Structure 1
Amino acid sequence: MGLSPKSKRRLQRILPFGVIWFVIGLFVLFIQEAATGNKNINPNAAITLTPKVFVFAMTSVTLIGLLMGTIEVLWLGNLFNNKSFYKKILYKLGLYSFLLLITIIIVYPIAASIELGLPVFHQMVLQKLSNFLISLDFLSTMVSIAVSLFAGLFYSEISQNVGDAVLKNFFTGKYHKPIQEKRIFLFCDMKSSTTIAEHLGHIEYFKMLKAYYADFTNAIINHSGSVYQYVGDEIIISWKYEEGIKNNNWINCFLAMKQDLHDKAEWYKNNFGLAPTFKSGFHVGEVTTGEIGTLKKEIIFTGDVLNTTARIQGLCNTYNVDILISEKLIKELKPEESLKIMSQGIAELKGKEEKMELFTVLRNS
């Protein structure tokens, strides 16, 4: 049984921490050995870099990076969400530095025991640890750790702001040249958003919008979706075609979003005096995907499928339904007993010559 989309995403976010720590650790060791001519100039405190010590050091550094990534992704990353960027970095640097100081005190004797061929708790090993903690080598180690920490935390914050997939695509250069690909799109728009904004006022409306989008997160992650854009009260979600049709991810994402928002209805009423709802439009088709921009780079999709999806979503009020799906996409829906498909007839989309049959889907009780 394979990993769930949520587990895959977590793993994809954690692995770069290990890579960052490995690369910086390798660079620091190279600089140290080059500067000293591959000689240990302070054998009472520093550990001689033998092949066994090298393998242990690089393994330890990578595992520490992965441990840091795991803590960051699963817990600490959300702890300072309300803090500014630089405060997040400073607070986390302080906490991680304390944890890593403890790690050094644990790992160093093991490395020393490998170098000396003695038990970890041998008097010579412990004496070497004591010498190390008051030496310049210790300060040098702490500086290299601080650099690794900062690089890892900087990556974490940037990936959260621009999105993991976008950051990965920028690094790999996948979309430096435009490519064509088949994608599924969901345009999801809050109902009566203008009236709600006028009723709540700008600040309270923004707070509600922030919570509203946050409540979609699990559904999107669990069904392999990715957020393309937030446009005011509208969110555009996209799937690569193969990922979208797998396990009916595209429709199950919508149903999960609807259920999660329904489950929080009382919370919204208690905090904002109302419970938001939304309407959605689905379509599938070819898009051109590429990197664009000079002052600010983005990866964007262009193609008729986006305009068509927006037009489909705009007809939800006309048909008095929460969801409308194009005929082209409904044909890709794998049969599920829990789903009821209903045709809404042939529709004429604004600005489009070609008419299209639209469908809505309900989950059977």
Structure 2
Amino acid sequence: MRISHQIKKLAFAITAWIIAMSIFVFFRYAQTDALPHWATSTTDLKTLAFYVGIIFGCLHWISNLVVDFSVFSRLPYICSLFIKGLLLLIGALCIASLFEFMELWHIHNHMATLWKISTTHVINSHSFQLLLIYLIFIRFSLAFIEQTMLLIGCKELINIGLGKYHKPRYEQRLFVYLDMTDSTAHAESLGDYRFSCLIQDCFKLLADPVSQSRGEIYRYMGDAVFIHWPVKNGVMNQRCLKLYYDFNQILSWHGTEFRQRYGFVPQFKAAVHCGQVVTAVVGVQKQEISFFSDVLNTLARLQDQCSLLSQQLLVSAAVAMRFDSQQQDFDLKDLGQIKLKGKQHSMQVYGVNKIK
């Protein structure tokens, strides 16, 4: 769980809830010139919306954190959403009680004011019921957005929304193709259900290296996954190579858990290649951004050579020549010209070893 990734999620939640509460406060008091007893001007209302938005944003983030990194993560999505909503309900009750107390603040005996406030009184109040309906709407809306971002990808969702790729366009892209070693044997020994759980656990751990390297998941294919960058971003600081070794390091750190659950620690082999692709949105009922190019076919063929060449990570010359010569994190071993299956011409291939 990268701190930077969680900070982004927290920032998104707080921003969304500040906007939501600002809208609620605006429409709640827009129809009347009368302000609550505790407010001296509209600035007080704006300040309230700001701080309440921060509180709900933090509760939203905490509820996601608690559910996503606990046994609740394997529950049906609607159940996990219900659990997340309970935290917001508690927060809503506390804030509604605060509102009620501030409304009665003009009473001189403040202790008597506290005794007048009860949970039943707050729940039965029109203001709380209105707030609760609004909170449910916002929570489900944000859950829908978050789930859509998980299924499609944040950048991909934005690009589809902006119509960036509705007309095909040429781009230079770098791809990493990760594939589990001995996956057929593992699937046979574990069975379909346990093997699918293994894939879930592995790719859950892949999320942090991908986020850290600023890559994007293109497509999952069983026990394999395609990750991509614009070429310039992928070769910068050798991110495409660091992603592979960071992922393997995380798998090693969780080795005890994997051995207890599955009897072994999964390993992955990978290939890296880049080139020109045509990027376009395809589909009507289910849209996605797809890449069309021989680059992907070549990448798959290159990855097939890992076992034959006794290498865990192979890099094409097209990628190797773009690395900064001053970078000394990895040793690139020239394996010569390799003839790939189904290809007319051979290509220069490099093995990769991390310099300790």
Give TM-score scaled by structure 2 length: 0.84
Query: What displacement does 1:253 show?
Result: 0.8
Counterpart in 2 of 1:96?
Answer: 88
| Cα distance between partner residues in 2 of 1:231 and 1:92 | 31
TM-score, L = length of structure 1: 0.83
Residue 83, structure 1, aligned to residue 94, structure 2: no
Alignment of 1:38 onto 2:50: no
CA change 1:112–1:26 in 2 (3 A) is farther
Aligned partners of 2:149 and 2:157 also within 8 Å: yes
Aligned-pair RMSD on alpha carbons? Answer: 3.3
Q: Which amino acid in 1 is paired with 2:134?
A: S
Aligned residue number for residue 190 of structure 1: 180
Classify the secondary structure of the residue corresponding to 2:83.
helix
| Alignment pair present for 1:351 and 2:342 | yes
- Deviation string 1:299-354 (CA, Å, 9 cap, x unpaired) is 22222221221111111122121111000101122344442211111012233333
Q: Is the Cα–Cα contact under 8 Å of residues 178 and 224 in structure 2 kept in the other structure?
A: yes
Deviation at 1:266, TM superposition (A): 4.3
Identify if the C-alpha distance between structure 1 residues 205 and 129 changes in structure 2 by more than 3 Å, giving closer, same or farther. Answer: same
Map Cα deviations across residues 37-79 of structure 1 (whole Å, 9 max, x no partner).
Answer: 4244xx7x78779422332133124323432343245444434
Is the contact made by 1:13 and 1:73 (CA closer than 8 Å) also made in structure 2? no
8 Å CA contact retained: 1:85, 1:157: no
Spell out structure 1 runs of 4+ moving beyond 6 A: 45-49, 110-113
1:121-158 CA deviation, whole Å, 9 max, x = no partner?
98399579949835322322222223222322333333
Report the Cα distance in structure 2 between the residues aligned to 1:328 and 1:361, rounded to whole angstroms.
14
- Give the one of 45, 55, 59 matched to 1:54: 45
Amino acid at match of 1:57: L
Native 8 Å contact 2:38 2:102 kept in 1: no
Map 1:1-365 to 2 at 5 A: 6-33=2-29, 37-40=31-34, 50-72=41-63, 74-79=65-70, 80-106=72-98, 123=110, 126=113, 130=117, 133=122, 135-334=125-324, 335-365=326-356
Aligned residue identity for 2:143: L
Q: Distance in 2 between matches of 1:357 and 1:75?
A: 48
Number of equivalenced pairs: 351
CA distance in 2, matches of 1:276, 1:341: 24
Aligned counterparts of 2:340 and 2:237: Cα–Cα separation in 1: 29
Superposed displacement of residue 173, structure 1? 3.8
Which runs of 5 or more residues in structure 2 are unaligned?
none
Is the CA contact (8 Å cut-off) linking 2:215 and 2:229 kept in structure 1?
Answer: yes
Amino acid at match of 1:51: T
Specify the SS of the correspondent of 1:215: helix
Q: Distance in 1 between matches of 2:48 and 2:27?
A: 15
In structure 2, C-alpha distance between the alignment counterparts of 1:124 and 1:273, rounded to whole Å: 63
User: What letter matches 1:38 in structure 2?
Assistant: T
**Cα distance, 1:129–1:155 mapped onto 2, change above 3 Å:** farther
